[in-house]
Chain A
Amino acid sequence: MNSLNLSSRLLLRQSRSGSLWMLIAGLVVATAAISAVTLFTDRIGRALEQQAGETLAADLVLAGRTPIAQDIEQLADQNQLSSSRMIMLSTVLFSDQDSSLFDVKGVSPGYPLRGRLLTAAQANAEDRATDQIPAPGTAWIEPRGLRILDIEVGDLVYMGEHELVIDRVLTYEPDRGGGPFMLSPRLLVNYSDVETSGLLGPGTRVNYRLLVAGAETAVQAFGNRVEPLLQDRQRLVTATEADNQTGAALEQARRFLAVAALTAVILAAVAVLLSAVRFTRSQRDLIAVLKAFGASSGEIMRALMLLLLWLVLLAVTGGLVLGWIGQQAITEILSAQMTLPLPFPRWTVMLGCAAFTLLLAAGFALPPLIGLRKVPPMRILNRSLDQRPSLGRIGWLVPIAAALAIPVLQLSDLQLALLMLGGSALLALALAIAAWLAMRITRVLARRSRGAWRFGLAGLSRRQGASVLQITALGLGLMSLLLLMIVRAELITQWQASLPENTPDHFVVNLQPDQAEPFEAALIDMGAESLQVRPMANANLVSISGERPDRDRFTGQVNLSWIDQLPPANEVIDGEFWSPGATGQISLSERWAERVGVEVGDTMTFDAGGQTFNATVTSIRRVDWNSFNVNFFILVTPEAAALLPHQFIASFYRPESAAEALDELARGYPNASVLDVGALIQRVFDIISQVSRAAQVVFAFTLVAGLIVLLAALEATRDQRRTESALIRTLGAGNATVRTGLLIEYSIMALIAASLATAGAAIIGWLMARELFQFSYQPSPMLFITGFLVSFLLVVGAGWLGNRSVLKTPPERILRAG
């Protein structure tokens, strides 16, 4: 009989008995959990990315200081992508009354590729979405621009060689960006007008951009093609990389979802491990019988592997179907609260999940299965000849590593994956060692004790291998569930709190030094909250430790500020921040210092309007850019105020009731500009609230999957237990002895698993908060005490309930089955 035949017969025949169903059930749960969670998190991730596309007005942007070649635009065409050209520059514009520095943006048809422009017919009229762009010869202006140039809609502005008619008021551009550095007002014009304005000569800082958007794969393909063609000082920008709060919120959002996905991965791995081990154990007798009756080991191996393959394929298919239903269910639950339009689930993610289970099953089940080839046929006569399957060679790590690489690649967050999966691997090791040591100790104790204790302790150590596996599986499962609790209870709450009700949503720039104090007082009067007023100088960085710095988008013109103490949301990571009264010192943000290559001890010289300021870097700060505070890359000691020409900027939260008062105030300071970033904050707020809600549901789903895995782990040794307790009852032990014995056995397992799981969750949670979420996280003892107690009770309770039937079955029946 050939192996194919044998395997299908074994499959068909064993299928009715239920022994194979345990393997299938484990694999189905694993595949369903991981596919539901990754499918859903992938959908949300892509939805967020598309949303984030709005902050770029595109899916991908090629930006540079030189015009973008025609071929690259054609490349976008070839990839079925829509594209649009854009030029940005800073220039002084004139009206008949006044002049001022403006940020001019020239756009071509199609702009914005993502998101929409809002415009109004008059300064205070209601705004509406539009799909148009300014026609040649016309311009759209930001409301404060009207004030600054002292003009109205219909008037002229002069831009280089062109006269442009102000056509509409621009109230919203999706890619306006946030933060305090949007100093100049916006003028939106037609691309061709900028090109022919005569302003693009050498010496002007111009930013040329090509915006592209389209299908994910096409965008990716385009990015890959363009990457090698990039010229000096050209770069590709994606929404998440864009240095803004939306990007940061997206990054956090993705991490939270990845935690859920990785938890599902750990649980799935545990489920697959348990099922695979049970499967190979159950095939042991089969192999000895087949061998005694004359099947060759080659035939047996081929048949078993095929059998395993059938089972895995069957289970994976079932698991994927369930997983698909699961993610759909999560979507349904959230549909009332989610405003994000979710893209369709991806096939590649499904395939990844299928490959994950397949490889993991191969990694966990094949080595012991191949080991079974060596089961001596003599075992059939003499059971003591049974050897343990050796896991001696480490070749089996290859498929497991490959399996784990799949979610890691899919999530593309190596740090988080290493932390969670590496942490779990270490924990598994610790659990196995602790369990093994405990088995040795219980063996000694069992000899000295009597009655129920003896039965319980001896039971544990008699099933040493199974007990070690069981404790490891329980511990891993508990740890990942506790980790979810920590993330849910602490990190997500902190995330939500990172954007409080009174987050600054207005910025004021261009306040003259003598205006700062009265303006601040007026803001306080009108009830502005979270108010900060800070000086700012725009200067040229002329030398670093005596050398001219490379021209870079971070150097050249820079903004700096001064202060006499460390501002909030800043943390010194190198050197020491100055104390009040110090002079001649500089403190840099970590990111800026790394980019420019400046370290503590370097000196820097700035020049503004013929005045120079020279000082030494004495500290490097880590800045929480997620906070909507006014923050600066470069801080200097306050004596700079006397040397550098400067202005003041303010940030604050404007209560709804103060809207008119603020307009009034702004009219009294025509030189200052008030910027409303409420829309941007709303966008970040939406991301945070939607993702944290989604995370709650996904976490709950994962929790259920985790409980199933834990129950399966407890179920693993039940048959054996049943036979044993029947035996000792036959030998005259009372039910009470058996019951207490079981309780003791489960308590010991629960104690080891729950204590190590709690410790593991605490350490991984702490590292995660610190390294990845950059939250200051204080592990709360209450959470861990509760976590430990719940875990302990869960294991003992579930094990106990599951084994009640052991006590109910008459011993005679059990012994016959044995």
Chain B
Amino acid sequence: MSVSNASHATPAPARSEQILSAERVDFSVDAPGGRLTILNNISLSLNSGQTLAIVGASGSGKTTLLGLLAGLETPTNGHIELAGTQLNELSEDQRAALRRARVGFVFQSFHLLPSMTALENVMLALEIAQLDQVRERALSALEQVGLSHRLEHYPRQLSGGEQQRVAIARAFASNPDILFADEPTGNLDRSNGNAIADLLFALNEQHGTALVLVTHDMKLAERCQRIAIMDDGRLSEQPPE
């Protein structure tokens, strides 16, 4: 069964439509030594189905930017528009509602719930998104990542690569418009990392999902259509080749 033709709470946007945009976004926090600016005047935009890599040194602000773009956090200045909605105007709960319909996540440290099986981890995300046929969707998503035989395993019984596959199944199962991935291969060895990257891009292609991929691995970044470089809180985009 293909996930992409499943009905969705909101209609999938047209290919060329803009799914994400950031305008002059700043982010600063109060730190012990005074005010600390982590992100400085960042603007970017991304169309539906497009893939964007954000690369940069550790500590340069990539994760923070990802959190802002996904609406997990609000910027100090500037505007972010996600799936046609201005995030600034939304409450935390409204942003959560937006995420549940449109956004998927893959994290560096997987973030599977240790007390649930692989299948249950995927099902939970679908239940939160208030979709129907939760079990069928979850089964099919796990099949797509090649884990049909490990459905009832708990995360501690799975290898890192397998845990990340469960996380990818969880992210794609609700057929989001945009996927945010923070160093998805960062905790994996090279061969496992490559397998995960292949899977990620394959599903991305198949579902027509937009992708924002944070990494410090240039090789991985180069598989995206666009690459932006983060350097000490400033973002500059590499001109396409």
Contacts and interface: CB of A to CB of B under 8 A. Distances in A.
Task: Tell me whether A and B are bound partners.
Answer: yes
A183 interface: no
B72 A294 contact: no
A223 B26 CA distance: 75
Contacts of B66: 381
Contacts of B210: none
Interface residues on B, range: 35 or more
A14 B121 CA distance: 11
B99 A293 contact: yes
B116 interface: yes
A330 interface: no
Contacts of B130: 1
A221 B30 CA distance: 65
Interface string A279-301: 00010011011111111111000
B129 A286 contact: no
A289 B111 CA distance: 7
A17 B107 contact: no
Contacts of B124: 9, 13, 289-290, 293
Contacts of A378: 67, 72-73
B99 A292 contact: yes
Interface in B128-179: 128-130, 154, 156, 159-160
A292 B115 contact: no
A294 B129 contact: yes
B125 interface: yes
A708 to B, nearest CB: 24
Contacts of B154: 17
Contact of A381 (B97, B107, B125): B107
B101 interface: yes
Nearest to B115: A17
Given A285-B111, A381-B63, A292 B72 contact: yes
B67 A294 contact: no
Nearest to B105: A292
Contacts of A19: 114-115
B96 interface: yes
B115 A380 contact: no
B59 to A, nearest CB: 11
A381 B182 contact: yes
Interface in A1-45: 1, 5-6, 9, 13-14, 16-20
Nearest to A289: B111
A13 B115 contact: yes
Given A294-B96, A294-B99, A378-B67, A1 B114 contact: no
Nearest to B68: A378
A594 B100 CA distance: 75
A760 interface: no
A90 B193 CA distance: 104
B103 interface: yes
B111 A13 contact: no
B60 to A, nearest CB: 14
Given A296-B93, A380-B107, A381-B66, A1 B127 contact: yes
Contact of B128 (A20, A293, A380): A293
A1 B123 CA distance: 12
B81 interface: no
B72 A381 contact: yes
Contacts of B117: 13, 16
A97 interface: no
Contact of A291 (B64, B96, B98): B96
Contact of B129 (A293, A297, A382): A293
A808 interface: no
A816 B113 contact: no
Contact of B100 (A17, A282, A293): A293
A273 B83 CA distance: 45
Contacts of B115: 13-14, 17-20, 282, 286
Chain A binding surface SS class? helix
Contacts of A376: 72-73
A17 B125 contact: no
B73 A298 contact: no
A363 interface: no
Contact of B72 (A17, A296, A380): A380
A642 interface: no
B110 to A, nearest CB: 10
A5 B63 CA distance: 33
Q: Which of B98, B101, B113 has the most CB of A within 10 A?
A: B113
A13 B127 CA distance: 13
Contacts of B160: 816
B144 to A, nearest CB: 19
A394 interface: no
A816 B159 contact: yes
A590 B72 CA distance: 72
Contacts of A5: 127
Contact of A295 (B67, B96, B182): B96
A376 B67 CA distance: 11
A18 B124 CA distance: 18
Contacts of A296: 92-93, 96-97
Interface in B22-80: 63-64, 66-67, 70, 72-73
Q: Which of A6, A295, A376 has the most CB of B within 10 A?
A: A295
Nearest to A296: B93
A377 interface: yes
A17 B192 CA distance: 27
Interface in A431-481: none
B126 to A, nearest CB: 9
Contacts of B103: 294
A365 B172 CA distance: 35
A257 to B, nearest CB: 42
A801 interface: no
Contact of A9 (B70, B93, B127): B127
A548 B125 CA distance: 88
B77 to A, nearest CB: 17
Contacts of A377: 72-73, 92, 96
Given A381-B66, A382-B67, A295 B72 contact: no
Contacts of A295: 96, 100, 128
A817 interface: yes
B116 A17 contact: yes
Contacts of B92: 296-297, 377
Nearest to B108: A381
Contacts of A285: 111, 113-114
Q: Which of B67, B97, B115 has the most CB of A within 10 A?
A: B115
Nearest to B64: A382
Nearest to A282: B115
A286 B97 contact: no
A19 B155 CA distance: 14
Interface string A251-293: 0000000000000000000000000000000100110111111
A310 to B, nearest CB: 15
Contacts of B159: 816
Contacts of B99: 292-294
Contacts of B127: 1, 5-6, 9
A288 B182 CA distance: 15
Given A288-B111, A294-B97, A381-B66, 15 more contacts: A9-B127, A14-B116, A19-B115, A20-B115, A289-B111, A291-B96, A294-B96, A294-B99, A296-B97, A376-B72, A377-B92, A380-B105, A380-B111, A381-B63, A817-B156
10 contacts: A6-B128, A13-B120, A17-B154, A291-B96, A293-B125, A294-B100, A296-B93, A297-B96, A378-B67, A381-B66
Interface of B: 63-64, 66-67, 70, 72-73, 92-93, 96-101, 103, 105, 107, 111, 113-117, 120, 124-125, 127-130, 154, 156, 159-160, 182
Which 7 A-B residue pairs are closest in the complex by CB-CB distance? A294-B100, A17-B115, A296-B93, A817-B156, A294-B99, A14-B115, A377-B72
